[in-house]
Structure 1
Amino acid sequence: MAVGVGQFESQSSLRYSPQATALQQTVAREFNLLVAENVMKPQYLHPEENRYFWEDADYLVSFAKRHGMAIHGHTLVWHQALPAWMQHYSGNWDGMLKEHISTVVSRYSADIASWDVVNEAFLDDGTPRDSVWQQHVPDYIAKAFYYANQSDPDGEWYYNDYNLEGMPKKLDAVLAMANGLRQRQIGMTGIGFQMHIDRYWPSLESIRTAFEKTVAAGLKVRISELDIRMNVNGDEAQLSAQLAAIQQQRYHDIITTYLQTVPAEYRGGISFWGVSDKYSWVPAYYQHADWPLLFDDHLQRKAAWHGVYEALRAQ
């Protein structure tokens, strides 16, 4: 479960929300692994070149430990959520990249066993994304994984991206990158499939094929940011009983496909991108109502929750 922690996300924050107590109770009761929705991204964790802001991330780690929950780190390197100083850096980019990764990973090595090392480095057609990292550190993906491995030899390291389950060229490019790292003896544990999907797309067959290809490459599979849009065309005013039933089945089918396709030793876990529909990123991004998550605006379990529960229980 991805959770808000910072004051800048105060409506959904475990710390600052008016419903913080209810959020904390729901998260602790329902889930066993936490991901920071934002506060471990460089913009918030490393706001100035010579200053880190640890308070929010430390709070999340403390909360997780207090409730016997694991933590997955998100994210060390991304082309977005960068502080201004990093975007306009004029020094040694390679050294700056190494320092950031080493400092963050080392601080949390005792508590965070796995990280999204690099996030969204490829376009949907499989070509590399043009970013400040690509411009200044052409081999930045390999270097990021190398520095992460150096900082915590026991860690698990993931590449994380969207549309991998529905865009074969993109997945093939990522698998080729992973194979290149392996040939250079740079450790990479697996791939995070964000799975920001909808009621129609992609097909279960496409998802199954993507998981199979990843396992065949010897990589773990994480469903890392799962949510399911239901109001794809923006023409629904509410989550009707019919839509809720469709969403329940879709969630059930996704979880079942993962468990049936990915052997236990290759499962990196399943994370949902947010707690409540009310504060999901989806409605703001698409500019219309939607209900993509497992809990409603009042933190009540939806039919979607039962779809996930039944799929897990069946295994």
Structure 2
Amino acid sequence: MKLIALLLGLSTLVNAQSLLKDAVSFRLGASVNPRMLVENEAYRNIASNEFTSLTAENHMKMMLIHPAADRFDFTKGDEIVAFAAKTGKRMHGHTLVWHNQVPQWMKDFQGDQKAWEEMLKNHIQAVVTRYKGQVSGWDVVNESFLDDGSLRPSLWADHIPDYIAKSFQWAHEADPNALLFYNDYGQDGHPKKMQAILDLVADLKKRKIPIHGLGLQMHINVDSKRTEIARVIEQSAQTGLVIHFSELDIAVNPKNNPEYIYEANTQNELFQFIFTSFRAIPARQQYGITFWNISDKDTWLRGYFKRPKEYPLLFDETYVKKPGYHSLVNYLQHAK
């Protein structure tokens, strides 16, 4: 009995020391904040030790990186890229074109379609050129479709009718070696949105516009239907493009119940399902899985949606690995 107890204890210890990144054959990433990388040692250590890929959560978006028409601010983007290089991480760029977080000067811009195209082209190519050879892939265009499959009304759709295709072309011209992604959320449960994305891919391919990957954000919750998620993954993989689960988190309190008490069983099972599903994608199409933020303390869900009792990630509010982290590692080590 003592021997069995000892062996069980050793097994638990080994599992506790095992890293999730070592249990997978693909890149494991997280979105990061440059201030936190500097100021918070626990955050920095997790970013350094637990992941093989990093994404800038906000500091490569238009508003922060291009605050004035005649001025780019690459300071924070450079810091993240330097941290990734120093710690041996792949760097993923997010995002070049989005309807949100647009600086005021772009909203106030005046000109004909040609002028708008020159303005957007300049932005894209300046950012991509800045990080040429340092950023492996870019979310070129982000969230361009509504749930009903229609094109989302935006500054870009209003002034540049073919802005998606042009954005991919301009990004490719700036860095022919970078992988270029279309990135979106909520395809599960919204088949018309998914079909619009598939139609976009087919159209770009037909026109020989370079697109290399699809970002499936995977902002899901404990009520998300596995059959719908599986369908989206299968349809995406069938395009032949590289697949990135680009912003993974699993919300446990989507209705913002103030009395909610954290219960992780369903969440843990969903994490296992997501990782198993990604493993099933052909290896040549596996770009990786990226978590959106490092820990429950940093999750965007608490700030953006004002849901203080939300626990969507694998590190808790004190930057300690949750039981779900260890169960996921154990599951992946033993699953075929």
> Do both proteins adopt the same fold according to a TM-score greater than 0.5, normalized to the shorter chain?
yes
Structure 2 unaligned residues grouped into runs of 5+: 1-29
The counterpart of 2:136, out of the listed 97, 113, 119, is: 113
The counterpart of 2:243, out of the listed 203, 209, 221, is: 221
The counterpart of 2:105, out of the listed 85, 95, 110, is: 85
Aligned counterpart, 1:177: 200
CA distance in 1, matches of 2:304, 2:171: 32
The counterpart of 1:297, out of the listed 290, 295, 317, is: 317
Alpha-carbon RMSD: 1.4
CA distance in 2, matches of 1:24, 1:50: 33
Query: Alpha carbons of 1:66 and 1:135: their partners in 2 closer, same or farther (altered >3 Å)?
Result: same
Q: Is 1:32 matched up with 2:55?
A: no
Equivalent pair of 1:64/1:70 in contact (CA under 8 Å): yes
Q: How does 1:40-189 map to 2 (within 5 A)?
A: 40-91=60-111, 92-189=115-212
* Alignment TM-score, normalising by the size of structure 2: 0.86
Q: How does 1:155-304 map to 2 (within 5 A)?
A: 155-201=178-224, 203-235=225-257, 237=259, 239-240=261-262, 243-260=263-280, 262-288=281-307, 289-304=309-324
Q: For each residue in 1:59-95, what CA deviation from the matched residue of structure 2 results, as whole angstroms up to 9, or x when unmatched?
A: 1011001100001100000011111111111141100
Please tell me the residue identity of whatever aligns with 2:290.
Answer: S
CA distance in 1, matches of 2:321, 2:219: 20
Q: Identity percentage over the alignment?
A: 39
Please tell me the residue identity of whatever aligns with 1:155.
Answer: A
Does the residue aligned with 1:278 lie in a helix, a strand or coil?
coil
Does the residue aligned with 2:279 lie in a helix, a strand or coil?
helix
Q: 1:249: Cα distance to partner? A: 1.5
Deviates more, 1:214-223 or 1:174-183: 214-223
Equivalent pair of 1:208/1:258 in contact (CA under 8 Å): no
The alignment covers a number of residue pairs equal to 302
Q: For each residue in 1:198-232, what CA deviation from the matched residue of structure 2 results, as whole angstroms up to 9, or x when unmatched?
A: 0011x222111111111212222110000011012
Q: Is 1:3 matched up with 2:25?
A: no
Query: Alpha carbons of 1:311 and 1:116: their partners in 2 closer, same or farther (altered >3 Å)?
Result: farther
Q: For each residue in 1:114-155, what CA deviation from the matched residue of structure 2 results, as whole angstroms up to 9, or x when unmatched?
A: 000000000011000000000011100000000011111111
CA distance in 2, matches of 1:89, 1:186: 27
CA distance in 1, matches of 2:166, 2:332: 37
Does the residue aligned with 1:102 lie in a helix, a strand or coil?
helix
Does the residue aligned with 1:14 lie in a helix, a strand or coil?
helix
Please tell me the residue identity of whatever aligns with 2:199.
Answer: A
Deviates more, 1:282-291 or 1:33-42: 282-291
Query: Alpha carbons of 1:311 and 1:100: their partners in 2 closer, same or farther (altered >3 Å)?
Result: farther
CA distance in 2, matches of 1:311, 1:212: 22
Q: 1:238: Cα distance to partner? A: 5.4
Higher relative contact order (Cα pairs below 8 Å, separated by 6+ residues): 2
* Alignment TM-score, normalising by the size of structure 1: 0.92
Instruction: Determine which structure has more spread, i.e. the larger CA radius of gyration.
Output: 2
Query: Alpha carbons of 1:312 and 1:104: their partners in 2 closer, same or farther (altered >3 Å)?
Result: farther
Equivalent pair of 1:199/1:228 in contact (CA under 8 Å): yes
Aligned counterpart, 2:25: none
Structure 1 unaligned residues grouped into runs of 5+: 7-12
CA distance in 1, matches of 2:328, 2:216: 17
Does the residue aligned with 1:209 lie in a helix, a strand or coil?
helix
CA distance in 2, matches of 1:287, 1:181: 38
